[in-house]
Amino acid sequence: MDQATKLRELAGTLLCEERRARTSVQVIAVTSGKGGVGKTNVVANLALALAHTGKRVMVLDADLGLANLDVLLGLVPGATLEHVLAGEKHLDEIVLTGPGGVQILPASSGIQDLTALTPDQQQLLRDEFDRLAQDVDVLLIDTGAGISSNVLFFAVAAQEIMVVASPEPTSITDAYALMKVLSNRFSEKRFRLLVNMVRRRDEGPEVYRKIGLVADRFLNISIDYVGAIPDDDYVPMAVRQQRAVLDAFPQAPASREFQRLAHQVAQWRVPESPKGSVQFFLQSLIAQG
Ligand SMILES: Nc1ncnc2c1ncn2[C@@H]1O[C@H](COP(=O)(O)OP(=O)(O)OP(=O)(O)O)[C@@H](O)[C@H]1O
Ligand SMILES: [Mg+2]
């Protein structure tokens, strides 16, 4: 083999390594036991705030409920994942671009069938994600609420599970129930807790203490408290305008907390490959089917 060929081969290998390194991505599932506690708003605002810190953010809307992320951000989805699986479109063609350049994979994308794909479709999707992941630092997933298999699939496949709870007693017990299922059935042992819609400064730590007390007694898990977002009238005002509160009212109390949260999340350690790759995430997702 001549020198030039060797160099070309080496360059090819290095480029491939570099490409692999760049696919390192932080996958965070935002989930909750009870519905309506603010997951979709958390995802939209955290995504935007992370984008402001310079991160390249993608959001996967895996919530099959009604109040979807695209609606919240005033976006109109076009093609769906079905078109991708049929080989008619590439994944980057169905991705919507939201405020701050945040990329959004819309809910109507048939993601519910992800575990029932043929091996060819799985490979196609992996390749498509691989292409897309080159430009992503953080992948946020709005999982929807509860302990249905869809919600659990996405939570288990992600590296970080951020459970959102409000100070309401039912939300607290449902958050605990969700962590219990994820721990007992899927051996998930580490959770992040975000308390939304707090009316007093000490309400967030109070919710954390309540869940922590029971979890310490009955479950072998660790819960990291990541903070609280205030109950803020600017949030529903922004929702009515189909905008994220951070976008519409950057100075609102909730917006400031979302910014603080984003700076914290940006510090979280991203696992080394292969755990820190979109392919791994997708692989775990499919493997559960
Ligand atoms: N910090 C907040 N302050 C005031 N209102 C809020 C706050 N966060 C969310 N809300 C309001 O709560 C409602 C539910 O929010 P959101 O749709 O984000 O919840 P969700 O958990 O995604 O719901 P679902 O489980 O149905 O998907 C919205 O109308 C929103 O305006
Ligand atoms: Mg929602």
Residue 222 included in any domain: yes
Does the C-beta of 23 come closer than 6 Å to ligand 1?
no
Q: Ligand 2 center to residue 30 CA distance, Å?
A: 10
HEC profile for 133-185? Answer: HCCCCEEEEEEEECCCHHHHHHHHHCCEEEEEECCCHHHHHHHHHHHHHHHHH
Residue 8 included in any domain: no
Residue 18 included in any domain: no
Residue 145 included in any domain: yes
Does the C-beta of 232 come closer than 6 Å to ligand 1?
yes
Degrees, nearest 5: CA angle 69-52-72: 15
Backbone angles phi, psi at 133, to 5 degrees: -70, -15
Amino acid 178: pLDDT: 96
Of residues 223, 2, 25, the one with CA closest to residue 137: 25
Beta bridge partners of 192: 162, 224
pLDDT tens column, 152-189: 877 888 889 999 999 999 999 999 999 999 999 989 99
| Buried/exposed code over 161-191 (b: 16+ C-beta within 10 A; e: otherwise) | bbbbbbbeeebbbbbbebbbbbbeeeebeeb
- Encoding tokens for residue 72? 């919240």
Residue 2 included in any domain: no
pLDDT tens column, 61-93: 877 655 588 878 888 877 777 787 788 888 888
Q: Would you place residue 102 in the very low, low, confident or very high pLDDT band (cuts 50, 70, 90)?
A: very high
Q: What is the CATH number of the domain that holds 49?
A: 3.40.50.300
Q: Is the pLDDT of residue 20 over 90?
A: no
Does the C-beta of 167 come closer than 6 Å to ligand 1?
no
Does the C-beta of 253 come closer than 6 Å to ligand 1?
no
Amino acid 114: pLDDT: 59
Amino acid 159: pLDDT: 87
Of residues 229, 159, 148, the one with CA closest to residue 191: 159
Q: Would you place residue 15 in the very low, low, confident or very high pLDDT band (cuts 50, 70, 90)?
A: very low
Residue 12 included in any domain: no
Amino acid 90: pLDDT: 85
Residue 14 included in any domain: no
Q: Ligand 2 center to residue 42 CA distance, Å?
A: 9
Q: Is the pLDDT of residue 1 over 70?
A: no
Does the C-beta of 236 come closer than 6 Å to ligand 1?
yes
Range of the domain at 162: 24-287
pLDDT tens column, 129-143: 777 777 899 999 898
Across the range 93-101, mean pLDDT stands at: 90
Q: Ligand 1 center to residue 96 CA distance, Å?
A: 22
Could you identify the atom of ligand 1 that is nearest to the CA of residue 229?
1
Integer Cα distance of 143 and 260 in angstroms: 23
Amino acid 12: pLDDT: 52
Q: What is the mean pLDDT of the chain?
A: 84
Residue 3 included in any domain: no
Q: Considering its fold, how many domains does the chain have in total?
A: 1
Does the C-beta of 239 come closer than 6 Å to ligand 1?
yes
